[in-house]
Amino acid sequence: MAKPGDNRQEEEINPNYQVDSATRRKAFRAMLGYAKPQRLVFLGVFFCAILAISADLLQPYLVKVVIDDNMLGDQGAGRVIGLGLIYLLLAVISMIFTYLQANLLQRAGQSIVAALRKDLFSHIAKQSMSFFDRHAIGSLVTNESSDTETINQFFTQVLLSIVRDGLSLIMIIGFMFLLDVQLALYCLVLLPLIAIIAVAFRKMLRNSYQRARTQLSRTIAFLAENLSGMSLIQSFHQEKEQVSRFSQRNRKYLKESLREVRATVIFNRSFDILGNLSVAFVVYLGGMAVFNSALEFGVLYAFISYIRQFFQPINQITQQWNTLQSTLVSVERLWRIFSVEPEVRNPKPEQAKELGLERVRGQVDFNHIRFAYSDDRDVLRDLELHIKPGEFVGIVGTTGAGKSSLVNLLARFYDVRKGSIQIDGIDIRQLKLESLHRIVGLVQQEPYLYSGSIIDNVRLFDESIDRDTVIEACRMVGAEQMIKRLKKGYDTLLTERGSGLSAGERQLISFARILVYQPRILILDEATANLDSHTERLIQQALNVVSVGRTTLVIAHRLSTVQQADRIIVMRSGGIIEQGSHKELLQQNGYYADLYHHATRGTAAGQ
Ligand SMILES: Nc1ncnc2c1ncn2[C@@H]1O[C@H](COP(=O)(O)OP(=O)(O)OP(=O)(O)O)[C@@H](O)[C@H]1O
Ligand SMILES: [Mg+2]
């Protein structure tokens, strides 16, 4: 079955997946934008690098001076000791500035990534529900954690290497020419050879790198999804299957990683061999020249040192190729997420309308709405529903009829495809999301709790709501006894998804939220389904207090929950098929009456 998310999977699986270069450039530029605030730090890194490299590269030159001008000449031992001390000083300088450079660079890199992570999270948090239908949680976790980490590596490794190794290379070539132009020219003959090797390996390294990355992200995504569904896996005794599916992915990752390592090692060794050959070459040419007294011995020594160091920066830079590749992949992936505009958006300032919380009367109009999650199937078809201020409306109907979808539209988790939804005559798309969510309070089918204390879960981390208000709300919904039984009472830390609490207890907490926030329009989606009838009655009482003068929509499978409603809406496959009060519906003797008789007969039989 093709789900909307499958495309993304396809892109991740296919290592040759490419976006056009304009997009890639745009993405890359956007990422570099994050480096801007750090430019002073980068400048500092640059200076430290220059100092450290200069101190490093002066060392062989110093030895040459000792050999040619002092040891072989006839000046005193005092100068040799002096030069020795300078050598030591250079080593210390190199150490200090390398340390400073590494420190500054990490600081810049980590700050960039911290900013990026924050923006990514707030971008994701802004997305509409359709975004989460399309993106697997596991891969979003990968985006937040490892993709941003790769970008850190770009700044701390790739950029560093380009600056440090690039500078070293230039300075080494400079020193070589300073020592002996002819020998230096001979050495430069090697450059095209190096280029050929680098290009030949480039594609191979890139492919193997990307394949390994793809496997890793799939493994992580698999892990994340499994961890959140562990109870399901265990209850169906799927551990073995899942473990084998996991080890299958893990094996693939291992294979690809090994292949990548092999490619890198072969590449590095080829470079080493080339390096050794060049040393032999210099020793041969230079040695002959020394024999013929055309070259001083000290110069030859320094030359050999430089040619050895010559390959190191080149090797380093080419090794960064991998990291650069993975940065590009990560940047593209992040960019794809960043470029998703939330479907549900705040109104443009010129179209925005104000609706103060106190002034809301609570009239709700669904005007000929049509809605679908995907293009192939309408979930709600031309639905018309008008709710008077303060009306208590019950919604019942078959599973999958579109009840939750209807109320989710009112909370603007999604937007209608056609028609409009109005509150007090104002299209909800013209209201700021923040004020809409203050006006409309929703208790969902599966209430979500955050990691945090009970107090924070009720007030949603809003410190302006004081503790007593929260405790009062919990008392009103009858959650007090349950909370008092917990070890730390109201300060008990709940874990994500509220484990440690039963489904009903979780629902009580979300009811307390409603009491604290007092929205003008109240929606309960199967909110009392998990409660025993005693607790449900408690909630009902609390709600009766809160819902006075408030528009209330209650979705329920248990008909008794909505029997008292001013009006009951009966839904079936995306439309309203009957409506009226309990009595009226029974008189109509239609679908509702059927349901009702079925239910009462069921209870009678059960007793
Ligand atoms: N996130 C989603 N993405 C795609 N389709 C969805 C999504 N949520 C619901 N649907 C589909 O929309 C239809 C209506 O679902 P909805 O959740 O509104 O039903 P419901 O009346 O609330 O059912 P229930 O009584 O089981 O809660 C269903 O056919 C369902 O498959
Ligand atoms: Mg539902």
325 & 370 share domain: no
Residue 263: which pLDDT band, with cuts at 50, 70 and 90?
Answer: confident
Residue 73: which pLDDT band, with cuts at 50, 70 and 90?
Answer: low
pLDDT at 470 over 80: yes
Is 9 within a domain? no
Q: How much is the pLDDT for 10?
A: 37
Pick the atom of ligand 1 nearest to 130's CA.
1
Strand order across the 551-555 sheet: 440-443, 521-525, 551-555, 392-397, 567-572, 575-580
> What digits encode the pLDDT tens for the residues 3-12?
333 334 434 4
Which of 281, 303, 338 represents a domain boundary (last residue)? 338
Cα–Cα distances in angstroms (integers) from residue 173 to residues 37, 170, 206, in the given order? 34, 5, 29
192 & 244 share domain: yes
Q: Can you tell me the mean pLDDT for 407-418?
A: 91
Q: Can you tell me the mean pLDDT for 438-451?
A: 81
Q: How much is the pLDDT for 498?
A: 53
Distance CA 174, CA 260 (A): 35
Pick the atom of ligand 1 nearest to 445's CA.
27
Q: Name the residue with the closest Cα to ligand 1, atom 14.
A: 402
Q: How much is the pLDDT for 335?
A: 85
With the most atoms of ligand 1 within 8 angstroms of its CB, the residue from 128, 378, 379, 414 to mutate is 379
pLDDT at 203 over 80: no
Nearest ligand to the C-alpha of residue 444? 2
Whether 373 lines ligand 1, by a CB cut-off of 6 Å, is yes
323 & 396 share domain: no
Residue 40: which pLDDT band, with cuts at 50, 70 and 90?
Answer: very high
Pick the atom of ligand 1 nearest to 133's CA.
1
Is 12 within a domain? no
484 & 435 share domain: yes
Is 355 within a domain? no
Distance CA 520, CA 389 (A): 10
Which of 280, 305, 338 represents a domain boundary (last residue)? 338
Which residues, 6 or more positions from 392, have their beta carbon under 8 angstroms from its beta carbon?
Answer: 547, 551, 552, 554, 564, 565, 566, 567
Which of 145, 516, 68 has the alpha carbon at shortest distance from 302? 68
Q: How much is the pLDDT for 8?
A: 40
Residue 423: which pLDDT band, with cuts at 50, 70 and 90?
Answer: very high
Q: Which of 137-146, 308-317, 358-367 is the most confident on average?
A: 358-367
Rounded to 5°, the CA angle 165-171-174 comes to: 145
CB 573 within 8 Å of CB 377: no
Pick the atom of ligand 1 nearest to 526's CA.
27
DSSP labels for 64-85?
HHIIIIIISS---HHHHHHHHH
Task: Supply the mean pLDDT for the chain.
Answer: 84
367 & 332 share domain: no
Q: How many domains does the chain have?
A: 2
Whether 404 lines ligand 1, by a CB cut-off of 6 Å, is yes
> What digits encode the pLDDT tens for the residues 582-604?
999 999 999 999 888 887 775 54
Whole-model pTM over 0.75: no
Q: Can you tell me the mean pLDDT for 349-365?
A: 86
> What digits encode the pLDDT tens for the residues 146-199?
888 888 888 888 888 888 899 898 999 999 999 889 888 888 887 788 778 777
CATH of residue 494: 3.40.50.300
> What digits encode the pLDDT tens for the residues 268-320?
888 788 888 888 888 898 899 888 888 888 888 888 888 888 888 887 887 78
Q: How much is the pLDDT for 365?
A: 95
CATH of residue 203: 1.20.1560.10
CA torsion sign for 221, 227, 230, 232 is negative
Work out the number of other CB atoms within 10 angstroms of the CB of residue 485: 9
Q: Name the residue with the closest Cα to ligand 1, atom 17.
A: 404
Which of 338, 373, 389 represents a domain boundary (last residue)? 338
CB 433 within 8 Å of CB 411: no
Q: How much is the pLDDT for 2?
A: 36
With the most atoms of ligand 1 within 8 angstroms of its CB, the residue from 343, 404, 443 to mutate is 404
Buried b (16+ CB within 10 A) or exposed e, 578-603: bbbebeebeeeeebbeebbeeeeeee
Q: Can you tell me the mean pLDDT for 379-404?
A: 92
Pick the atom of ligand 1 nearest to 406's CA.
18
Whether 133 lines ligand 1, by a CB cut-off of 6 Å, is yes
Q: Could you tell me the distance, in angstroms and rounded to a whole number, from the CA of residue 347 to the centre of ligand 2? A: 28
Q: How much is the pLDDT for 19?
A: 60
Nearest ligand to the C-alpha of residue 401? 1
CB 536 within 8 Å of CB 373: no
Is 343 within a domain? no
Q: How much is the pLDDT for 602?
A: 59
Cα–Cα distances in angstroms (integers) from residue 606 to residues 569, 592, 601, in the given order? 27, 21, 8
Q: How much is the pLDDT for 76?
A: 63
Q: What residues make up the domain containing 180?
A: 20-338
Is 1 within a domain? no
**CA 464 distance to own-chain centroid:** 29
Whether 402 lines ligand 1, by a CB cut-off of 6 Å, is yes
Nearest ligand to the C-alpha of residue 383? 1
Query: Integer distance in angstroms from the first to the last C-alpha of the chain?
Result: 44
Q: How much is the pLDDT for 551?
A: 93
pLDDT at 377 over 50: yes
Q: Which 3 state secondary structure label does DSSP give 297?
A: helix
Q: Can you tell me the mean pLDDT for 412-435?
A: 91
Q: Can you tell me the mean pLDDT for 338-343?
A: 84
Q: 443 - beta bridge partners?
A: 524
Q: Can you tell me the mean pLDDT for 80-100?
A: 91
Residue bearing the bigger pLDDT, 364 or 353 = 364
pLDDT at 489 over 80: yes
Is 14 within a domain? no
Backbone torsion region of residue 589, taken as left when φ is above 0, otherwise alpha when ψ lies between -120 and 50, otherwise beta: left
Q: Which 3 state secondary structure label does DSSP give 423?
A: strand
Q: Name the residue with the closest Cα to ligand 1, atom 16.
A: 402
Q: Could you tell me the distance, in angstroms and rounded to a whole number, from the CA of residue 395 to the centre of ligand 1? A: 14
Give the whole-number percent of the chain exceeding pLDDT 90: 26
Q: Can you tell me the mean pLDDT for 519-534?
A: 83
Distance CA 21, CA 542 (A): 60
Q: 395 - beta bridge partners?
A: 555, 569
Residue 17: which pLDDT band, with cuts at 50, 70 and 90?
Answer: very low
329 & 444 share domain: no
Is 70 within a domain? yes
Q: Could you tell me the distance, in angstroms and rounded to a whole number, from the CA of residue 370 to the centre of ligand 1? A: 14
CA torsion sign for 590, 528, 433, 379 is negative
Question: What does the block give as tokens for 56?
Answer: 């490093």
320 & 398 share domain: no
DSSP labels for 183-229?
HHHHHHTHHHHHHHHHHHHHHHHHHHHHHHHHHHHHHHHHHHHHHHT
Nearest ligand to the C-alpha of residue 442? 2
Q: Could you tell me the distance, in angstroms and rounded to a whole number, from the CA of residue 594 to the centre of ligand 2? A: 21
Q: Could you tell me the distance, in angstroms and rounded to a whole number, from the CA of residue 568 to the centre of ligand 2? A: 16
Q: Which of 106-110, 312-316, 351-355, 489-493 is the most confident on average?
A: 106-110
Say which range, 137-151, 268-282, 317-331, 491-505, has the weakest mean pLDDT.
491-505
Q: 180 - beta bridge partners?
A: none
468 & 586 share domain: yes
Place of tokens 């549900």: 344
> What digits encode the pLDDT tens for the residues 222-258?
888 888 788 888 888 888 888 999 999 999 999 999 9
pLDDT at 607 over 60: no
451 & 550 share domain: yes
Rounded to 5°, the CA angle 206-329-149 comes to: 110
449 & 311 share domain: no
Is 234 within a domain? yes
With the most atoms of ligand 1 within 8 angstroms of its CB, the residue from 403, 443, 526 to mutate is 403
323 & 462 share domain: no
CB 483 within 8 Å of CB 492: yes
Whether 446 lines ligand 1, by a CB cut-off of 6 Å, is no
150 & 63 share domain: yes
Q: Name the residue with the closest Cα to ligand 1, atom 24.
A: 399
